[in-house]
Amino acid sequence: MFTGIVTDIGRIVGLEKTGDLHAKIATGYDLESIDIGASIACNGVCLTVTGLGAAPEPWFSVDISAETVSKTNISAWTEDARVNLERALKVGDELGGHIVSGHVDGVADIVAMAEEGESTRITFRAPEDLARFIAPKGSVALNGTSLTVNEVEGASFGVNLIPHTKAVTTWGDVAEGDAINLEIDTLARYVARLAEAG
- Give per-residue pLDDT as tens, 43-93: 999 999 999 999 899 999 999 999 999 999 999 999 999 999 999 987 666
- Mean pLDDT in residue range 147-171: 97
What residue type is assigned to position 184 of the chain?
Answer: I
Instruction: Label residue 18 by pLDDT band (50, 70, 90).
Output: confident
92 sits in which H/E element: none
Q: Is residue 92 part of a domain?
A: no
Q: Is residue 151 part of a domain?
A: yes
- Coil/strand/helix, residue 65: coil
What is the total count of domains within the chain?
2
Instruction: Label residue 191 by pLDDT band (50, 70, 90).
Output: confident
Average model confidence (pLDDT) for the chain?
93
Closest CA to 12 of 79, 60, 67, 58: 79
Q: Is residue 99 part of a domain?
A: no
Q: Is residue 148 part of a domain?
A: yes
Q: Please tell me the distance from the alpha carbon of residue 171 to that of residue 84, in angstroms, as a whole number.
A: 9
Same domain, 149 and 71: no
Task: Give the domain range for residue 189.
Answer: 106-197
Query: How confident is the model at residue 7, as a pLDDT?
Result: 96
Q: Please tell me the distance from the alpha carbon of residue 135 to that of residue 51, in angstroms, as a whole number.
A: 39
State pTM to two decimals.
0.93
Q: What is the CATH number of the domain that holds 146?
A: 2.40.30.20
Is residue 54 classed exposed, middle or buried when 0-12, 13-18 and 19+ CB atoms within 10 A define those classes?
exposed
Query: How confident is the model at residue 99, as a pLDDT?
Result: 83
Same domain, 65 and 118: no
For 175, phi then psi, to 5°, come to: -145, 160
Instruction: Label residue 23 by pLDDT band (50, 70, 90).
Output: very high
Considering the chain, what percentage of its residues have pLDDT values greater than 90? 85
Task: Kindly provide the b/e burial profile for residues 109-145, where b requires at least 16 CB atoms within 10 angstroms of the residue's own CB.
Answer: bbeeeeeeeeebbbbbbbeeebbebbbeebbbbbbbb
Same domain, 81 and 117: no
- Mean pLDDT in residue range 87-108: 84
